């Protein structure tokens, strides 16, 4: 596989610092393409998330901005966005049906809606959509109700799979918020919603939409800051148990991305107040990509992760596995299949 060969060859030339930095998706406010491009390249991050403050007026100008951010055409940076439709959307020209509407429509409507949504994003240069909510809830007072596509596992699963099918070939699909926000009351932006639900009940009532989305081909799963005390008394983003369930029980082999890591600190919990500790715990748990909407010092983060490796809290193999998965995904997006060629010092001396 030329993509795998490319990733292996490129990984072999990357320093540990570069590998760690590639595991972060970060954010910079503004619509200055030069500033965004320099920031992405200068930090060495593997991805950039676009928020409302990155959307120009008119929206159609976004494609010209993203074209300058992607960097190396052979290994483009991941450009992510939250485009669920309805109450959560960054591009307001998206008038396709939202989850709230889709729960009352046949599953085929989800395919149509997300195909239109994905086409809009692709035309703007976005490559990753954090847009498919796989949470299940019938509770109209729930924080996630208006964003969920079903009140039962079966109805949600049908629409989640259909949404993934709609996005295929246009943008990379993300299922969220594993293991399921529908059962945990509260808003994970400002707290750590918790539940006493056990694994058997979760598997029967909340796993099905994630299974269906994975089977349909979703490339990413976003893990939420949700705590199932009977399974693991820590947020799922920091839980080796939940990451193991996602990999081993649900058979997911793609990119495990965290929800915004800054939300952990916003919870007010003392044990989640240190951003470096949170990052180390997320990587140790099995996260592939760490998402930051707020400020993050990647130099300090990389140093902290390297110290954790020295202390035995994280293995180099974990870093390499995550970096390789991301290299393969980014190489696939480039559309190129040639071998990785790097001009080292001896080569540089000749061509100069």
Cα(337)–Cα(315) distance, rounded to whole angstroms?
30
Reply yes or no on whether 189 is catalytic. yes
Select which of 189, 229, 253, 321 is catalytic: 189
Degrees, nearest 5: CA angle 289-204-145: 65
Q: Which residues of 106-120 are buried (b: 16+ CB within 10 A; e: fewer)?
A: ebebbbbbbbbbbbb
Select which of 82, 135, 232, 259 is catalytic: 259
Query: How many residues are present in the chain?
Result: 352
Q: Are 192 and 227 within 8 A, CB to CB?
A: yes
Q: What are phi and psi of 312, to 5 degrees?
A: 90, 5
Q: Is 32 exposed, middle or buried (0-12, 13-18, 19+ CB in 10 A)?
A: middle
Cα(8)–Cα(321) distance, rounded to whole angstroms?
10
Reply yes or no on whether 259 is catalytic. yes
Report, as residue numbers or ranges, the catalytic residues.
189, 259
């Amino acid at each position: 596989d030329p993509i795998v060969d490319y990733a292996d060859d490129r990984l072999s030339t990357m320093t540990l610092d570069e590998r760690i930095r590639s595991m972060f998706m970060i954010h910079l406010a503004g619509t200055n393409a030069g500033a965004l491009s320099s920031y992405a390249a200068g930090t060495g991050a593997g991805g950039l998330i676009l928020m409302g403050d990155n959307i120009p007026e008119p929206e159609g100008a976004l494609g010209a901005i993203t074209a300058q951010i992607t960097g190396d055409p052979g290994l483009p940076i991941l450009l992510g966005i939250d485009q669920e439709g309805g109450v959560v959307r960054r591009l307001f020209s998206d008038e396709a049906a939202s989850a709230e509407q889709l729960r009352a429509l046949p599953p085929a409507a989800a395919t149509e809606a997300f195909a239109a949504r994905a086409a809009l994003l692709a035309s703007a240069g976005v490559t990753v959509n954090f847009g498919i909510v796989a949470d299940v809830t019938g509770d109209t007072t729930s924080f996630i109700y208006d964003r969920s596509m079903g009140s039962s596992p079966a109805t949600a699963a049908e629409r989640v799979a259909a949404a993934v099918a709609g996005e295929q070939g246009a943008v990379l699909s993300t299922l969220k918020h594993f293991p399921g926000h529908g059962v945990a009351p509260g808003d994970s932006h400002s707290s750590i919603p918790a539940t006493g639900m056990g694994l058997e009940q979760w598997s029967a009532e909340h796993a099905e939409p994630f299974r269906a989305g994975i089977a349909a081909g979703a490339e990413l799963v976003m893990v939420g800051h949700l705590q199932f005390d009977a399974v693991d008394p820590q947020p799922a983003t920091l839980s080796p148990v939940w990451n193991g369930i996602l990999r081993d029980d649900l058979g997911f082999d793609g990119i495990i991305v965290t929800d915004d890591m800054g939300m952990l600190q916003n919870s007010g919990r003392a044990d989640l107040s240190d951003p470096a500790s949170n990052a180390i715990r997320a990587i140790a748990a099995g996260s592939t990509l760490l998402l930051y909407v707020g400020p993050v010092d990647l130099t300090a983060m990389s140093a902290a992760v390297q110290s954790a490796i020295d202390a035995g809290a994280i293995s180099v193999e974990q870093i390499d596995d995550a970096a390789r998965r991301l290299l393969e995904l980014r190489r696939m997006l480039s559309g190129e299949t040639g071998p990785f060629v790097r001009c080292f010092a001896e080569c540089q001396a000749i061509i100069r």
